[in-house]
Structure 1
Amino acid sequence: MKDVIIIGTGLAGYTAAHYLAKSNLSVLMLEKSKTVGGRAQTKKISGQYFNMGPHAVYKKGEGAAILEHLGIELHGRSPKLSGEIYEQNDAYTAPFTASGLLASSYLSWKERKEWMLLIMRLSSMKIDDVPQQSYEQWIESNVRSDRVKGLLYALGRLASYCHAPDIISAKVMLAQVKIALGKVLYLDGGWQSLVDQLHNKAVLLDVQIKKESNVQQICTDEKNGFKLTLSNGEIIYGKHVIFTGEPQALNQMLDIEHPYRDDLSTMKAVKAASLDVALTKLPQPKRLFAMSTTDPLYFAVHSSYAKLSEHGDSIVLHCLKYLRPSEQANNEQVRIELEQFIERLQPGWKNEVITSRFMPSITVNHRLPRANEESPLLQSLAVIPGIYVAGDWASPHSMLLDGAVSSGRLAAEHIIREMR
């Protein structure tokens, strides 16, 4: 019998566990797999550290502030904003810095002025004042130049990993863009460094962590609050539950009527295809970052700013394609597309490959935040009294790490108030 049972050991679950344990509540975390960390895990392959695609911590985001408050150290460096942008097959200097803007031939002088004013406006923007509309509607209403629009669409993809401007909420997307402009951080050792610190601190706080424990059913129990049945038949009781997995999976677990069944079942995930590559050296050492304004493609060499290899001179880079919702892409064609984009930037790179990993469809965020979406569930995080949700999909105004960590903290705070 525990005060709180947390289903899932990702960043949201561990964040909640820390706040709860520090309030002297007994906490049990259940993880269905053999390892903890969820999608924040880093795999070591041939001595190279691969995140599940390109990961970055937004330095100005709520997630970084919460992790630092919990005593989690964020070791790494911020990448430079310099690089290249592609329009069709033409390459230009990226106008994301003052020097880049002056050097780039991508924008006319009139367009440069519009772009500078737009960046200044985004930096000081109050997100609450943004109307309920899609990101595409906001851009079409506020930007004149087609090339400035293209830059803003690319910047939105970069900040949110989402390629659905006609669907995604302008409020959420602009919030992501705003914090992305405040620089990002690539972590030494990958995001496993976050997972390891959170796990070790949770153990020191007497949080119990039980792996290979797959929850099949959650139902109410008059005496103990909630009864959880595991796939091996084991029964566990808890006064409160925090669920941090996929939203659709919660519907399958709950043997309880609740008003959010349709909300959970209809959530669409943000997806991407990722090619992670380790090289002995970069054929073009100065080409570290590129995006396309006409294709949803991204390239970055994360190891230039973070230690991502047991071997000091190895290179780890990521190439990503942002996928449309429900896009049924041909895996081999997508892989070829990513390889060709790398070849455009790093000709001859295949001669330097140590190892690589291709993931044709990874979940970036379990919920694509839609325009005009106002779910009472995301405001309260309570499916029913005593059962809360947390995760990258459970925050109404943020995504990715910020959504996961902030919702984990809020769910814990709701329970702490209840218990008091």
Structure 2
Amino acid sequence: MDKWDVVIIGGGLAGYVASNYLARSKLSVLMLEKGKQVGGRARTTKIKGQYFNLGPHALYKKGKAWVILEELGIQLDGKRPKPDGILTGDNHEFIAPFSAIGVLTTHYLNWKEKVEWLAVLSEVIRVDVQKIAELTFCQWVTQTARSKKVQSLLFVLGRLSAYCHAPERVGAAVILSHLKSVLGGVIYLNGGWQTIIDQLHNQAVITGVQIQTHKTVEQITETSTDSLKVVLSDGEEILGRNVIYTAGPQELAGMLGKDEGAFFRNMIPVKGATLDIALTKLPRPKKLFAMDIRKPFYMSVHSACARLSEDKDNSVLHVFKYFHPDEKIDGTKVKEELEQFLEGIQPDWKDHVITSRYMPQITVNHRLPQIGDEFQLGSSTTEIPGLYIAGDWACPDLILAEGAASSAKRAAAEIIKNRMG
């Protein structure tokens, strides 16, 4: 095609959501993915009959991504984990007060603290996030909760809901938006998140979207013909009336130049380490979820609620460490930390390993959400006419899959509106 209506750069969740909306409006759409596989961080890898997501993934049942995916006709098959588990700290285990029974039975809180905890959870549900846009999450927590233990629980839930381990730097509005959704429940998906990508891919192809892999974009420039030119690393040039960029913001900054890309260049990625493991059996089958109270560690057996193995008796779990943006990462040491954390919950787990995968440093989200970001991300348009942004970093009030799906729908809607208007 001489000129596409829309060229989408990046074949992850945002790219596929946008392409599906655009194709419904009969626009010609080309998607370019630099890797050999599409899906981005929503990919699922099958290893020895076990299905591994890229670290722990959960879909909010009350989130915007859920609504968008259902709107696109995507089947979301899985179960909701029970809101219980354990908290660890100082060589002790406590029942997590994340359910009514948990609040009543936990020894982590005394009765006065339990009353305060319930009041704080009620405040989380009621809070108007627009009114706390100028607060960091740490500031909001210390203003809302008096008890140090209640504050520690809020920090634990903040990490769980948004993967961010920098409460003194992240905006309270974004973290609480995600925390509200987490309290509404999550599901683990049968077959992993690849099932979402596969359905979006099939629908895109059926509706005429052209998808090309191994296509690395090096530059996006304006032309004199009311279009944008996308230049690939092999010298190929592609023309599009509109371009939606969904890959990393730092890469976009390099394509745009010093002035236009300054905001994108300064974004700080959210990172973590994941140990993905399949076991023939769980040494402690009732210990399915755990988080450390003071240290940024997480463990969850996702196969307890989702089919993630060809053998229903196997267990697939994820052990995760949330990194602070300033942390110096020693991959060998972090792996030992993750293994030790799991050992405390599932002793002798190494005797039952089928397969495992360790990734010492993965980008969980491309933007650490900070105060003021919303002013730069109020629209999917950029300074370059016809260039739109979408992705986990491109939504003013959401990150992760929530931000990716929401910003993708917004970008597609703006292009369709401009075409119609």
TM-score normalised to structure 2 length: 0.97
Stretches of structure 1 lacking an aligned partner (at least 5 in a row): none
Partner of 2:340: 340
Partner of 1:277: 277
2:381 aligned with 1:379: no
Partner of 1:416: 416
SS in 2 for 1:375: helix
Mapped contact 2:133–2:371 kept (Cα < 8 A): no
- 1:203 Cα deviation from its structure 2 partner: 0.4
Partner of 2:404: 404
Partner of 2:294: 294
Render the CA deviation track for 1:357-409: whole Å, top value 9, x for unaligned: 01111111100011243433x11121222100000000000111110000000
With 307-316 and 352-361 compared, the bigger mean Cα shift is at 307-316
Partner of 1:43: 45
SS in 1 for 2:46: strand
Amino acid in the other structure paired with 1:328: K
Looking at structure 2, the residues matched to 343 and 273 of structure 1 have their Cα atoms a distance apart, in angstroms, of 17
Looking at structure 1, the residues matched to 211 and 287 of structure 2 have their Cα atoms a distance apart, in angstroms, of 43
Aligned residue among 240, 244, 266 for 1:238: 240
Partner of 2:120: 118
SS in 1 for 2:371: coil
Amino acid in the other structure paired with 2:143: S
Equivalent pairs counted in the alignment come to 417
SS in 2 for 1:382: coil
Partner of 2:11: 9
Render the CA deviation track for 1:15-67: whole Å, top value 9, x for unaligned: 11111111111100001111110111001111110000000000100000000
- 1:131 Cα deviation from its structure 2 partner: 4.3
Mapped contact 1:224–1:237 kept (Cα < 8 A): no
2:19 aligned with 1:20: no
Mapped contact 1:133–1:372 kept (Cα < 8 A): no
Looking at structure 2, the residues matched to 42 and 166 of structure 1 have their Cα atoms a distance apart, in angstroms, of 33
- 1:127 Cα deviation from its structure 2 partner: 1.6
Aligned residue among 56, 59, 72 for 2:58: 56
Looking at structure 2, the residues matched to 372 and 139 of structure 1 have their Cα atoms a distance apart, in angstroms, of 19
Mapped contact 1:224–1:238 kept (Cα < 8 A): no
2:314 aligned with 1:314: yes
- 1:258 Cα deviation from its structure 2 partner: 5.6
Partner of 2:68: 66
- 1:88 Cα deviation from its structure 2 partner: 2.3
Mapped contact 2:277–2:353 kept (Cα < 8 A): yes
SS in 1 for 2:158: helix
Partner of 1:29: 31
Stretches of structure 2 lacking an aligned partner (at least 5 in a row): none
Looking at structure 2, the residues matched to 76 and 124 of structure 1 have their Cα atoms a distance apart, in angstroms, of 28
SS in 1 for 2:282: coil
Looking at structure 1, the residues matched to 394 and 380 of structure 2 have their Cα atoms a distance apart, in angstroms, of 7
SS in 1 for 2:378: helix
Partner of 1:102: 104
Partner of 2:367: 367
2:97 aligned with 1:75: no
User: RMSD of the TM alignment (CA)?
Assistant: 1.1
- 1:270 Cα deviation from its structure 2 partner: 0.5
Looking at structure 1, the residues matched to 373 and 189 of structure 2 have their Cα atoms a distance apart, in angstroms, of 33
Aligned residue among 150, 153, 156 for 1:148: 150
With 290-299 and 123-132 compared, the bigger mean Cα shift is at 123-132
Percentage identity across aligned positions? 50
Amino acid in the other structure paired with 1:379: G
TM alignment of 1:257-268, pairs within 5 A: 259=260, 261-268=261-268
Mapped contact 2:365–2:399 kept (Cα < 8 A): yes
- 1:152 Cα deviation from its structure 2 partner: 0.4
- 1:224 Cα deviation from its structure 2 partner: 5.0
- 1:87 Cα deviation from its structure 2 partner: 2.3
SS in 2 for 1:367: coil
Partner of 1:190: 192
Render the CA deviation track for 1:84-139: whole Å, top value 9, x for unaligned: 01122211011111111111111010000000011112122222222411000111
Partner of 1:210: 212
Amino acid in the other structure paired with 2:367: R
Q: Which runs of 4+ in 1 moved over 4 A?
A: none
Looking at structure 2, the residues matched to 254 and 310 of structure 1 have their Cα atoms a distance apart, in angstroms, of 46
TM-score normalised to structure 1 length: 0.98
- 1:142 Cα deviation from its structure 2 partner: 1.3
Mapped contact 2:374–2:397 kept (Cα < 8 A): no
Looking at structure 1, the residues matched to 330 and 133 of structure 2 have their Cα atoms a distance apart, in angstroms, of 37
